[in-house]
Amino acid sequence: MHRTYENDDIVILWDSEKCIHAKECREGSPETFDPARRPWIQLGLAENARVWKAIERCPSGALSVFYRHETDVVMEPDKCRSIASEAKKTVGMCEYHETEAGLEIYRTVVDADREDMGIAKRLVFKVLEAAERQNITVSATCSYAREVMGR
């Protein structure tokens, strides 16, 4: 399961398949990470800096955190893609084909001056989360998406 949690400043990505339930995150910020609650991650209950430090304690790589940089990432299912934009300017996208087996991600691109900001990972997570919520299988020929998916 892939989930995105965000506020105005930071974006958290959580990959349940990597989570080993060591609870380091909960010890670092119990207000934010509560496995007994749904959603179990909630932003706005602790300072972002504390949340960031808690995520750095995650031993499995299940959690990652990025500054949001006023970059919106949304699905455009009619165009078979997720898209990243800043002030209405497109800065990246993750594109897929619809196949009989599900979705197949074939390309993830981000503007050169927006690399290393977590946007590509957010784009892939957006597609994965949307597909999972509809019980649609996702595969990828895009090497970056395969890396994010751990395949």
Helix (H) or strand (E) holding 24: helix 24-28
User: Per-residue x/- marks for ligand SF4, 63-82, CB under 6 A?
Assistant: x-------------------
Which residue number, 58 or 138, has a Cβ lying nearer to ligand SF4? 58
| Structure tokens given for 75 | 């699905």
Q: Of 11 and 91, which has the nearer Cβ to ligand SF4?
A: 11
Residues sharing a CB contact under 8 Å with residue 99, sequence separation 6 or more, in sequence order: 139
* Nearest to 96, CA basis, from 84, 80, 109, 82: 80
Which span sits near ligand SF4 by CB under 6 A: 5-13, 59-67, 85-93, 97-105?
59-67
Cα separations in angstroms, 63 against 33, 41, 51, 85, 141: 11, 11, 11, 23, 24
**1 contributes a contact to ligand SF4 by CB under 6 A:** no
Please, which residue, 58 or 65, has the CB nearer to ligand SF4? 58
Q: Is 22 in the site for ligand SF4 (CB under 6 A)?
A: yes
SS3 21: coil
In the complex, the smallest distance separating the C-beta of residue 21 from ligand SF4, rounded to whole angstroms, is 5
Residue 5: enclosing H or E segment and its boundaries? strand 2-6
* Residue 142 tokens, joined: 């895009």
- Report if residue 21 touches ligand SF4, rule: CB under 6 A: yes
Residue 19 as a binder of ligand SF4 (CB under 6 A): the answer is: yes
Site for ligand SF4, rule CB under 6 A: 19-25, 58, 60, 62-63
